[in-house]
Amino acid sequence: MADQNAPNSHLRLEWVYGYRGHQCRNNLYYTAAKEIVYFVAGVGVVYSPREHRQKFYLGHQDDIISLALHPERVLVATGQVGKEPYICVWDSYTVQTISILKDIHTHGIACLAFDLDGQRLVSVGLDSKNTICVWDWRKGKMLSMAPGHTDRIFDISWDLYQPNKLVSCGVKHIKFWSLCGNSLTPKRGVFGKTGDLQTILCLACTRDEVTHSGALNGDIYVWKGINLIRTIQGAHAVSIFML
């Protein structure tokens, strides 16, 4: 007669193949230990090229779609999809959870970014308002929240030289945000006659209130404050996904 008991064994994750590039950007980084951090499905992967070895972060319950690396390049923040999505901040050395941020976003977390000193984390949700939240991630406390835009947001970045300024961009818009206390207020970028109203896919903030952005048509748009001051036409023949 066959033994009806379950075998005394268990499955162990040994290797993760591939990389999620589809509908995700800014999600591949070198850590301080010169390991590579990225994600596939619901797994955060830390790969050592030197040892050809992977470590796995398994704190998510659904697919990860966003990632940010702390300025000290040890801690990682990842956001997932789902009805009640959450953000995990975890250690790339130990692959252990440091903080979980939840109960705000719905549908998914599209974008994440740490500020310059790594004390605050900004997130963008996939809800109908594309809600933007600023967190004191160590305390698990939300500092500020505001509707992001009526259309999809593709990227968000802290200004490197103004600690309470952020920039977000997406479908035919770019917004420049000011954080004062728990108030997060936007000003829309003014395209004027310098360039066509474009879907903006990515951002890079530089000094003196200058922001570079990559457009759907392959141009680079350069902003001073909220105004478009010049375009670099034909920078790429196709859309610019990352700067």
Assign 3-class secondary structure to the chain. CCCCCCCCCCCCCCCCCCCCCCCCCCCCEECCCCCEEEEECCEEEEEECCCCEEEEECCCCCCEEEEEECCCCCEEEEEEEECCCCEEEEECCCCCEEEEECCCCCEEEEEEEECCCCCEEEEEECCCCCCEEEEECCCCEEEEEECCCCCCEEEEEECCCCCCEEEEEECCEEEEEEEECCEEEEEECECCCCCCCCCEEEEEECCCCEEEEEECCCCEEEEECCEEEEEECCCCCCCCCCC
Q: Are residues 162 and 76 located together in one domain of the fold?
A: no
pLDDT given for residue 53 in this prediction:
96
User: Does 238 fall in a domain?
Assistant: yes
Structural domain includes residue 3: no
Asked if residue 1 belongs to a domain, the reply is: no
Note whether 28 and 128 are same-domain residues: yes
pTM confidence score: 0.90
Which pLDDT score is estimated for 182?
Answer: 87
Q: Tell me, what CATH number does 78's domain have?
A: 2.130.10.10
Q: Are residues 45 and 81 in the same domain?
A: yes
Domain that holds residue 63: 18-148
Residue at a domain's end among 126, 148, 170: 148
The answer to whether position 181 is within a domain reads yes
* pLDDT for residue 162 is more than 90: no
pLDDT in tens, 61-108: 999 999 999 999 999 999 999 989 999 999 999 999 999 999 899 999
pLDDT, tens digit, 9 for 90 and up, residues 10-61: 889 999 999 988 878 889 999 999 999 999 999 999 999 999 999 999 999 9
Asked whether residue 37 falls in the same domain as residue 141, the answer is yes
Instruction: Report yes or no on 10 lying in a domain.
Output: no
Q: What is the pLDDT of residue 160?
A: 83
pLDDT of res. 3: 80
